Amino acid sequence: MFKKLFLIACLMTSLFAFEKENIQKQMSDNIHQVLNILKDTNITKKDKSEKIITILDKSFDYNIMSMLALGRAWKTISNEQREEFSNVFIKRLKESYIDKLELYNDQKIKIANLKENKSRLILNTILVGKKENYPIDYKFYENRKNNQWYVYDVNILGVSIIQTYRKQFDEYLKEKTIDDLIKYLKEKNLKA
Amino acid sequence: MRKITILFLFLSFFYACNAQNFENSNKDDVAINQFDDISNEFQDSYEDDFDPLSGYNRVMTSFNDGFYVYVSRPVIKTYKDVVPSTARKGVSNFFTNLGFPIRFINNLLQLKFKNSWEELQLFVLNTTFGIAGLINVAEENNFNLRYHDEDFGQTLGYWGVGEGFHIVLPILGPSNLRDTFSLFVDEYASPLKPEDKSFYLTDSTDKSIGLKTFKTVNSTSYTYPVYDKLRKDAIDLYPYLKDFYNKRREEQIKE
């Protein structure tokens, strides 16, 4: 009986989830919503960012993104440092992502296709620019506990955001401490 | 039995309503479980790369960046503000059309015959009906023809030639041994090379450099905001740009 109950409960959860079959449609909806917000001239830049972030929050797994960006150093730092790093990094990440989207204000976007690569999914999208097309790929992993899919990395022009941060952080931490890095990111956030 | 069913439905409903919260609270430890797994997809540090010119490259990167900020960017911005968009588009079309021999040959060398054929059609159409390439006739009429940008560096990459070490070129920016060598090879197929033959447009180096600068200023008037935004993410500009260049080239070769 309990098993059945659990099963049904699980099935019902999926009504709210980001499932494999829905990824393409839902992401496409999200991206179009984001572009509509960007195009809207009636809202301030700050409101725009907030609205976009609300949409992104549904599908981005920021926790795993901060872990992946910090790489091997993640395991060596304290819980407080982890939390502090995540906070500043996520802020940086969101800002940098929105900043890039602003490039394509008045252009179209095409959702190309969804590829399966081992246990990950990659959604290819193309921003159609005036002179060039800019590919942006969203990479999803399946969360083992609730079987939902989250974005863990974004490739812009074929280059992984997490990868570039990771290499840079790793290099930075060879000479400096995690607290320096947190301080550095904080300053960068203030400037942006 | 009925009671159980009701309880069941009630619980399920309750559970579903809380699904969002449930999922958020669980993200943390799940993430830790799968962290190592996903982590393998990424690399740490820049160290393992063979970079004999790193000292020079660093200096040249800061020179280029300074040159960009204080010289090229203001020029390009002014150009963009002054020259109407239609004119810039025409110039861009014109130079893209001139790049035909390079793309055509390199598509052939990579056995991409369909792409070469498309390039040839575009060249004939745009050169004749598009007034020496000023108008992209195919694009205006929604013909299903598009450019396939290939250079000799990509051709070598296609056939498995490694990139060699990284070289930052003055003003032109990041490159590598293979791509720098390829620049000279592609030059022979470019109508902008200075030589006294009918295939080439100019017979003097000055004119050639002038045209090439014009071409670059015009095309960069479209792309410089991308560089502006990307360089904001850099902690250390040299390795960042180097990595970006390498990844980008890998992608272009794969295409």
Q: pLDDT tens-digit profile of B186-217?
A: 999 999 999 888 888 888 999 999 999 999 99
What are the C-alpha distances in Å from B227 to residues A4, A170, A191, B173, B223?
A: 56, 23, 18, 12, 7
Q: What is the rounded average pLDDT for all residues in chain A?
A: 82
pLDDT at A32 (0 to 100): 83
pLDDT at B113 (0 to 100): 96
The answer, as to whether pTM is greater than 0.90, is no
Task: Decide if A75 touches B, using CB distance below 8 A.
Answer: no
Confidence bin at A180 (pLDDT 50/70/90): very high
CA nearest B45 in A: which residue? A167
Tell me if B12 and A134 make a contact (CB, 8 A cut-off).
no
Question: What does the pLDDT look like over B24-75, one tens digit per residue?
Answer: 444 455 556 678 888 888 888 777 678 999 999 999 999 999 999 999 999 9
Confidence bin at A1 (pLDDT 50/70/90): low
Tell me the nearest-neighbour CA distance from B72 into chain A, angstroms: 20
Task: Decide if A3 touches B, using CB distance below 8 A.
Answer: no
Tell me if A141 and B38 make a contact (CB, 8 A cut-off).
yes
CA A11, CA A36: separation in Å to the nearest integer? Answer: 33
Among A179-183, B6-10, B32-36, B222-226, the minimum mean pLDDT is found in: B6-10
CA A69, CA A153: separation in Å to the nearest integer? Answer: 10
Task: Decide if B232 touches A, using CB distance below 8 A.
Answer: yes
Cα–Cα–Cα angle for B31, A152, B234, rounded to 5 degrees: 120
From chain B, the residues in CB contact with A172 under 8 A are: 235-236
Task: Decide if A83 touches B, using CB distance below 8 A.
Answer: no
Q: What are phi and psi of A73, to 5 degrees?
A: -70, -25
| Of residues A17, A63, A160, nearest to B31 (C-beta) | A63
Q: What percent of chain A has pLDDT over 90?
A: 27
Task: Decide if A13 touches B, using CB distance below 8 A.
Answer: yes
From chain A, the residues in CB contact with B13 under 8 A are: 12
pLDDT at A45 (0 to 100): 78
The stretch B87-107 carries a mean pLDDT of 96
The stretch A114-137 carries a mean pLDDT of 82
CA B87, CA B63: separation in Å to the nearest integer? Answer: 31
The stretch B174-190 carries a mean pLDDT of 96
Cβ(B91)–Cβ(B79) below 8 Å: no
Cβ(A130)–Cβ(B93) below 8 Å: no
Confidence bin at A6 (pLDDT 50/70/90): low
Task: Decide if A89 touches B, using CB distance below 8 A.
Answer: no
Q: Pull the structure tokens for residue B28.
A: 């943390």
